[in-house]
Structure 1
Amino acid sequence: PGHVPTIRVALEAQGKEGVVTIQDNGIGLPADRARLFEPYVTTREKGTGLGLPIVKKIIEEHGGTLVLEDAELFGGTDRPGARAVVRLPIKVLTPDTQGAAQDAAE
């Protein structure tokens, strides 16, 4: 049937971090992948090159990290696709801090 585009999303707790992994079996990352986080760098005709830098900045402001890497092979393809791994600290709410967190959200 040919290539079937697939996206996988996983969420897990690892110690004091929440880890979100998003991967696809598409064309993968460019060779100069480090530049993807630079503002105004884009591979799309109408792209601004601001999406990934903004997302990375927001994640970092919340004490987390964003890493782009090659995905594992899956979906019957011979190309690795791309994987984004987001790590964010988990704050455990106790009865004392839960009320304060709810008040702050209102």
Structure 2
Amino acid sequence: MSPLTAPDCLFCRIVAGEVPAEVVISTDTMVAFRDIAPQAPVHVLVTPRDHHADVAQLAAADPELLADLVRTANEVAEDLADGQFRMIFNTGTRSGQSVFHVHAHVLAGAQLGWSPA
């Protein structure tokens, strides 16, 4: 594993090919794969190959990689839906983050509702 990986991180293991996933896009910097518990017809997780715990850490460490993540999310939506999508980052346990390797949830393929908390 490279210096920017965490050996016990599930997403680092998916990126390394050690854990199976339904990959929809793979580049030199990103891996996008289908969520195992989809919340929309298209629910893909886009994650950098490099390990960063959350989006705030990624933004501070490598803004260009964050921009690449957003570009990849758009590519997922263009390939799998009509280009319209919702992108969600969870940061911290209270927000619902359960895997501490930054990833964007790309949701698409249906009219997505919204309700305030």
TMscore range, shorter length:
0.3 to 0.5
Which of the pair is proportionally richer in strand? 1
Bigger Rg, which one: 1
TM norm structure 2: 0.37
TM-score normalized by structure 1?
0.40
